[in-house]
Structure 1
């Protein structure tokens, strides 16, 4: 498993997880409005600006397994938002941990950030279990902060600080 720059050949794997109801039920976008053109645009612009860094997670055969990102990179405050999305076939086999190791390494060593944070829908227990096991620390919860499928949802906030990293 490695991470690399997103490539146009990754679009079909991206579309797979985006339209999977089991996976996208916790995402804020409307899966019925995702088009191949939007995915191509995302891939094409994935590394255009310094505020967002998106990578493909791939296996030894360079097959796309998911996307991992540092978003909203703030160099002044030395922090960024973490995000990960995996295809079903990549779940449950340590790929998320290994990819997260790599992106956290980029954040703290290459970008010299101090903190990496994330938010997650409070009912997304699978993701929360992973984040807590990985070492992200719970910081709090915003009540009824986002609307997903017409319903207000709470967001839990987690972070990992460079000096506190323990993995």
Structure 2
């Protein structure tokens, strides 16, 4: 696993050992960023269910201004912090070892607008995708926000989350990437 493009291109990232997380492959990560725009001019990223932090770190490497990482698994969180440090993004990253719901509730209290939201929960936990609505209804997603959901091929996500509509879905083996934008 590595950073695919941008200022940290080629930087190897540590993966979480064991089966508690499912890392996004470099091929899928590259496809995600080809779909949403290869490079950014600023913006704030939320990497929910961050695991090793590969998606948020990739966004930082490609020009995102800041990234917020939420990961509850302690081993994964330790790897996430190591990857942030290795890539020298400590000044542009916030990492929280907490469950997603608590992280969302904390974000709802902050004066913040998210431009990119990566949602990659455990595949069988469909209720976690409802956190998108909490952020949308709480006014935390900018009008130009892009939501990227990674899910199993046998999971059908809704066509819309509030004002955000699915504009594209692509299958990669047993994984589907669904992209949402404001309609």
Same fold (TM over 0.5): no
Q: Give the structure-2-normalised TM-score.
A: 0.28
Please say which structure displays the higher CA radius of gyration.
Answer: 1
Q: Give the structure-1-normalised TM-score.
A: 0.29
More helix per residue: 1 or 2? Answer: 1
